[in-house]
Amino acid sequence: MPELYNKEGLKARFDNWEKQLNGEKSSDFHSFRKESFDSYLKVGTPSRKHEEYKYTGLDKVIEKNFTEDDWNRSTDVTEQEVKENVIDDLDAYDIFFVNGILNKELSHWDELSKEINLMTVKEAFEANEKDCIENFGKHATPESDPFTAINDALTDEGIFINIKKGQILTKPVMIYYLNYTEEGGVITHPHNLFVFGENSQGEIIEKFDTIGENHSLSNIVSEIVVNRSAVVKYYKIQSEHNGNVHVGNTQVWQDENSNFTSTTLSFGGMMVRNNLNIALDASHCEANMYGLSLLKDNHHVDHHTTVDHRKPHADSNELYKGVFDDKSTGVFNGKIFVRQDAQKTNAFQSNRNVLLSEDATINTKPQLEIWADDVKCSHGATTGQIDPEQLFYLRSRGMDKQSARALLLYAFAMDIVEHIGNEQVRNYLENLISERLHKNF
């Protein structure tokens, strides 16, 4: 009997699904799926033998915790369950996915559609939308990662957002992904495309939550195109529980004079893998990448980042931090490529970690590969414990040990949160982090 998420299991699922598509089998969208699945079959699902997944054995975790029944679950959620997972007081255009399925009724779909070009990816293909056809699957290619290939082959949901030339979004786009597991496990494969036109500006926020105690698997791809002189801020917030498996591939492409800032905050999950890849494909563009992990129990979060400097006079800055307690595990693998044409590049990368227990683990590997000779680049990583002198100083001022420890860790985390420009999102995260630290995680 084929397993769930290997070549045999996925081929059986893909073949059965294809038989039910009827007229859609001849569509351009499905042709893309078939090509992606053929690409996946060449490599299969990565295991720990795969160099890029040596610390994150997703294949075993998926086979152990998920079943065939998890592919199709009810998407019914109550208003109260939705309300418990939204960011209070955030003035934004809300988009909701429930178990990987877009819910237009919950979303501000009509309101946002009046401001920008908004449709599902399938609708965009049917309408022959030029920016969708030219970009969907062209940046996060099936060859770039096996989980991207699986997503491309099996995706049936996703949104296409197109911010036109010179347009400035009046409110951020807030995308909630709710996995509702009260009735059993859930498997989802959404794939989104965000295209920011020349001189446009906007914010995209993605937030992932699980309702219920059963397992959920999210294999999501987000492609972000930042055209000339556009300014984009992107936030990813993961606040999931012990039964969640998350594989996220975020692929960014930048044109001349563009500015992109990403902030990723991970607060838990059985096994989380975040791939963030940025291609600086023109001169005078800038990319900033920030990340924070606050982990406890047996949680595992793996951040893989790549910055590809392809053209001269571009800057990138990267700072990822982690706090690991109990038996949690962190992985940081950051790569910076500076191509031969990318003279006058400035690229800086740093990874800093605090281990709070003897059983917590961090595997960190910052990497620089430089083919140009006129550049300024640096990278580094540190791992340690809470500074005993700082702890002693605070306690000598009358603070108890737990409060002193929480204050030091809060200050450590704020180095990342302070880069979030949206005040409402920043306040939400400051309160969330403070609450967790004062509860000893």
pLDDT digits (tens, 9 = 90+) for 368-397: 999 999 999 999 999 999 999 999 999 999
The pLDDT of residue 28 is: 87
The pLDDT of residue 441 is: 52
The answer, yes or no, to whether residue 161 has pLDDT greater than 60, is yes
φ and ψ at 140, to 5 degrees? -90, 85
The pLDDT of residue 439 is: 64
Can you count the helices (H) and strands (E) in the chain? 11, 20
The answer, yes or no, to whether residue 227 has pLDDT greater than 50, is yes
The CA distance from 197 to 399, in Å, is 52
Which helix (H) or strand (E) segment holds residue 12: the answer is: helix 7-19
- Mean pLDDT of the 209-215 span: 91
Q: What percent of the chain has pLDDT over 70?
A: 99
- Mean pLDDT of the 307-324 span: 98
The pLDDT of residue 309 is: 98
The CA distance from 309 to 304, in Å, is 17
The pLDDT of residue 266 is: 97
The pLDDT of residue 1 is: 45
The answer, yes or no, to whether residue 215 has pLDDT greater than 70, is yes
**Angle between helical axes of 423-438 and 401-417 (0-180°, round to 10):** 150
The pLDDT of residue 260 is: 98
**Angle between helical axes of 401-417 and 388-396 (0-180°, round to 10):** 120
Q: Are 173 and 112 within 8 A, CB to CB?
A: yes
Would you kindly state where each structural domain of the chain is located, as residue ranges?
A: 1-282, 293-308+316-385, 387-440
Q: What is the mean pLDDT of the chain?
A: 94
- Mean pLDDT of the 425-430 span: 95
**Angle between helical axes of 146-154 and 7-19 (0-180°, round to 10):** 20
Sign of torsion over alpha carbons 410, 379, 201, 114? negative
In the DSSP assignment, the letter for residue 416 is H
- DSSP annotation string for 353-397: EEE-STT-EEEEEEEEEE--SS-EEEEEEEEE---HHHHHHHHHT
Q: Which amino acid is at 229?
A: S
Nearest Cα to 13, choosing from 74, 75, 69, 73? 69
Residue partners of 66: CB distance under 8 A and separation at least 6: 4, 5, 185, 187, 215, 217
- Mean pLDDT of the 57-70 span: 91
- Taking the CB of residue 74, how many other CB atoms lie within 10 A of it? 12
The pLDDT of residue 122 is: 92
Using pLDDT thresholds of 50, 70 and 90, give the confidence band for residue 223: very high
Tens digit of each residue's pLDDT (9 = 90 or more) over 92-148: 999 999 999 999 999 999 999 999 999 999 999 999 999 999 999 999 999 999 999
The pLDDT of residue 370 is: 97
The answer, yes or no, to whether residue 54 has pLDDT greater than 70, is yes
- Our measurement of the distance from residue 170's CA atom to the centroid of its chain's CA atoms, rounded to an integer in Å, reads 24
The answer, yes or no, to whether residue 168 has pLDDT greater than 90, is yes
The CA distance from 245 to 229, in Å, is 36
Using pLDDT thresholds of 50, 70 and 90, give the confidence band for residue 354: very high
Tens digit of each residue's pLDDT (9 = 90 or more) over 253-310: 999 999 999 999 999 999 999 999 999 999 999 999 999 999 999 999 999 999 999 9
The answer, yes or no, to whether residue 191 has pLDDT greater than 60, is yes
The answer, yes or no, to whether residue 440 has pLDDT greater than 60, is no
